[in-house]
Amino acid sequence: MSDCCPCSTDNWPELERGFRAMLPEDILAFIDAHRHQEHSESLLIATLHQVQAHFGHLGPGHLEAVAQLMQIPLAKVTGVATFYHYFRLQPRGRYLINVCLGTACYVKGAEKVAQKLQDELGIRFGETSKDGIFSLESTRCVGTCGLAPVVMIGDEVHGPLTPSLVPGLLESYLARAAEDLVTDPSR
Amino acid sequence: MSQMISLKIDGEPILVPAGTTVMDAAETLGIHIPRLCYHPELSLEGNCRVCVVQVEGFDHCLASCATTAWEGMEVQTNSPVIREARRDIVELLLDNHPKDCQTCDRDGICELQNLAYRMGVRERHFEGRRKQFPIDDAGASVVRNAEKCILCGRCIRVCGEVQGVFNLSQHGRGFTTVVGPANLAPMDESACIQCGQCVSVCPTAAFLEQDHTERVWKALGFPRTDKHVVVTTAPAIRAALGEAFGLPMGTPVTGKMVTALRRMGFDAIFDVNFSADLTIMEEAHELLKRLEGGGPLPLLTSCSPGWVSFLEKFYPELIPHMSSCKSPMQMQSTLIKTYYAQQKGLDPKDIYVVSVMPCVAKKFEAARPEHVLDGMPTTDAVITTRELAQMIKSYGIDFTRLPDSDFDHPLGTSSGAGDIFGATGGVMEAALRTAAFKLTGKNLGNLELTEVRGVTGEIREASISLAGRTLNVAVANGLQNAKVLLEAVKRGEKDYHLIEIMACPGGCICGGGQPYPPIGTYTMNHDLARARAKALYSIDSAKTLRCSHDNPDVQKLYADFLGEPLSHRAHELLHTHYTARTPRGIR
């Protein structure tokens, strides 16, 4: 093919540089090592696992970089990332709140506690509060049914809870976050 | 000869070649098993379960589209169990679907509605929570309404398998599964090339074209004080418009179409075929110039806006190969607002240009910022063949009884070369007719270059000797086929001078804006494409004027207004440029 155009219209080299800058070396090495193998697209999930392990979540930029560098259509990549519960598309807050919706907690009113948490934080399950301090998730039984209904915040268990106890509980973690900020502003 | 196997369907014995699906075997017995996600031109998914049948020895139903018949198999397609299962499946689909049939664009030509009627669904038994998603109607061409989606996956398959774009995928899971582009981004911010094949294959109204009929009705309103409303029709419209009025597939309806447009009140009715001839003049000269060493070869044709977007998103490095010619639609609109305006003594601002196109991507093309004249769009509205048919019906025009009439001057005369632009290979054939004349000084003895004709997906190649020079050409339709061709060119395996690419399978005659085929016939059906192509080739062969360079009105346009092909003025008005765009597609 003759090519006598003086100016290149190929945007790939520039785009590729940008995509490579999005991902750490070890993940790039993993992609490069398998890129030209047969069925390399089957390593998509493995790659996404590594990206989430590194960044804590899968951001739009990470997903696009994975798609382009692995040459897998982006729609496929975001389709896979949104299919599996394991993959998080939002950064996780400092404190992860896990509301137990197991049978014992449920009959003891976990749903009301969950609703109060959502109202107080202004977020729904799977989301992170605007200040980046809390993420809200649900879980099935944490093995402390005697304290039902229970909520785990980080690795601490709280129970039995009622909706009226929720604001105070959140306050205590907010205070802790503010204290951390004073002692270690880099966090 | 392949091995034959015998089975029984509804008690009737039948012999079919090994590998035949139960659905196809039943079809040979005249039993039409209801179906929904199935599309004969796409891969099998078997996800809707509407085509279930009962098979002896199985306690569950099997999807007949995805089950290969075996020796001794006994199938029931209409047992009470099957009838109930099938109706329940359709009811479940309906119960998670908006109840707005009467106000839906697909009313009357919706596969789900038709199926519900045929299955005898008369009540809703499973009413419950219904999925709700926002409508993405911000795109210039394609509207995505996920509430109407039944997750059949045809759009995902056509976008990937036929167009090689892979822009659509299922997102999420379970009840909240939704089909859309990556990150559910707006269509125009995704890798979408606006070809509209998703609209064509969708059984419901989950994908539709962006509606322009309202703005056309408004422009046509009475009293018309400010605007001179001009309409101009693409080659492929005349081959398919009749279908919307019950005429047989491939009935040419040029004359009736012109009469209908006149009755609707357009001030002038022009033919984009005129600018197809003009495109050939410019493109053939561009080819000759490049053959003489003036630019990269192969030259790629630029008429199809879906293909233009594909080039910009998937193969930007090939932009220098692209013909700089505007599409015929854009040439025509530009001339209406310059040449015609000058002749009529009209201010271009007072002219409203409506283009009738077989194409959804033309709406996007019309909205491109490069296609402006003194700050206003050159094309004001683009309606698809479907939208025109709807407008004619809405106007109360009895289309099939209309007499024929002719296009207006000076942008209404065309050669047969302009007519065949609507079919894959047509631009190539038209270009070669004129290139041959320019190279040899006389017209080809046989104007019909059958090597480049044919509506199926195969890439067609031809070598033509002209004045001691051999021109190698290739034609592809459907962008997955175009990818194969372009990759071969990039690897240096092929040495072509001219390549014609049309985004849609079969070319514009099967564009994303053409009438939905009657229920039971599928888009991309080869007989449908052949019938429409034949309509155009028959118009061409019946004309005495068959070469673009012989078109007297094109000659007059050059003499009075443009000067020579590729002149400064022609460049200014009839040529465009392309830009690498993101998101970049995956090849």
**Cβ-based interface (< 8 Å): residues of B facing A:** 160, 166-173, 180-184, 190-191, 295-298, 316-320, 489-490, 492, 495, 578-580, 582-587
Nearest to B296 among A3, A73, A79 (CB): A3
- Reading the block at residue B75, the tokens are 């199938």
**What pLDDT is recorded for position A7?**
65
Q: How far is CA B123 from CA B91, B114, B346, B504, in A?
A: 8, 15, 59, 39
**What pLDDT is recorded for position A2?**
41
Encoded amino acid at B458, one letter: E
- Could you tell me what percent of chain B has a pLDDT over 90? 92
Q: Give the domains, in start order, of chain B with CATH numbers.
A: 4-94 (3.10.20.740), 214-574 (3.40.50.1780)
Mean pLDDT of chain A: 92
CATH tag for A95-183 (out of 3.40.50.10800, 3.40.33.10, 3.40.50.2300, 3.40.30.10)? 3.40.30.10
Beta strands in A43-119 (DSSP E): 95-100
Q: How far is CA A142 from CA A98, A100, A160, B394, in A?
A: 9, 7, 13, 64
- Cα–Cα distance between B81 and B26 in angstroms, integer? 18
**What pLDDT is recorded for position B68?**
97
Nearest to A78 among B182, B318, B584 (CB): B182
Closest CA to B506 of B393, B390, B424: B424
Closest CA to B453 of B492, B509, B405, B515: B509
Biggest CA pair distance of chain A: 78
**What pLDDT is recorded for position A86?**
86
pLDDT tens digits, chain A, 187 residues: what are they?
444 445 689 999 999 999 999 999 999 999 999 998 999 999 999 999 999 999 989 999 999 999 999 999 999 999 999 999 889 898 889 999 999 999 999 999 999 999 999 999 999 998 899 998 999 999 888 899 999 999 999 889 999 999 999 999 999 999 998 888 787 665 5
**What pLDDT is recorded for position B128?**
82
Q: Is B65 tagged catalytic?
A: no
**What pLDDT is recorded for position A187?**
54
pLDDT digits (tens, 9 = 90+) for B469-508: 899 999 999 999 999 999 999 999 989 999 999 999 999 9
| A86 and B CB contact within 8 Å | no
Domain ranges of chain A: 12-83, 95-183
Q: Give the distance from residue A183's alpha carbon to the nearest chain B alpha carbon, in angstroms.
A: 39
Backbone phi, psi, residue B74, to 5°:
-120, 120
Q: Would you place residue B137 in the very low, low, confident or very high pLDDT band (cuts 50, 70, 90)?
A: very high
* pLDDT at position B1 over 60: no
Q: Is B71 tagged catalytic?
A: no
Sign of CA dihedral B6, B8, B9, B13: positive
Beta strands in B294-432 (DSSP E): 299-300, 351-357, 372-373, 376-377, 381-384
**What pLDDT is recorded for position A3?**
44
Encoded amino acid at B385, one letter: T
Contact B171 A77 (CB under 8 A): no
pLDDT digits (tens, 9 = 90+) for B83-111: 999 999 999 999 999 989 999 999 999 99
pLDDT digits (tens, 9 = 90+) for B326-364: 999 999 999 999 999 999 999 999 999 999 999 999 999
Contact A68 B584 (CB under 8 A): yes
Nearest to A76 among B166, B317, B584 (CB): B166
The residue in chain B having the minimum alpha-carbon distance to the alpha carbon of residue A75 is: B182
pLDDT digits (tens, 9 = 90+) for B359-388: 999 999 999 999 999 999 999 999 999 999
pLDDT digits (tens, 9 = 90+) for B436-454: 999 999 999 888 989 899 9
Q: Is B500 tagged catalytic?
A: no
Q: Is B303 tagged catalytic?
A: yes
Backbone dihedral region for residue B570 (phi beyond 0: left; psi -120 to 50: alpha; all else: beta)? alpha
- Could you tell me what percent of chain B has a pLDDT over 70? 100
Q: How far, rounded to the nearest angstrom, does the alpha carbon of residue A20 sit from its chain's CA centroid?
A: 21
- Output Rg (C-alpha) for chain A, integer angstroms: 22
Q: Which of A9, A10, A78, A85 to mutate to test the interface with B (most CBs of B within 10 A)?
A: A9
B contacts of A61 (beta carbons < 8 Å): none
**What residues contact residue B345 under an 8 Å CB cut-off, 6+ apart?**
none
- Cα–Cα distance between B442 and B547 in angstroms, integer? 11
pLDDT digits (tens, 9 = 90+) for B32-84: 999 999 999 999 999 999 999 999 999 999 999 999 999 999 999 999 999 99
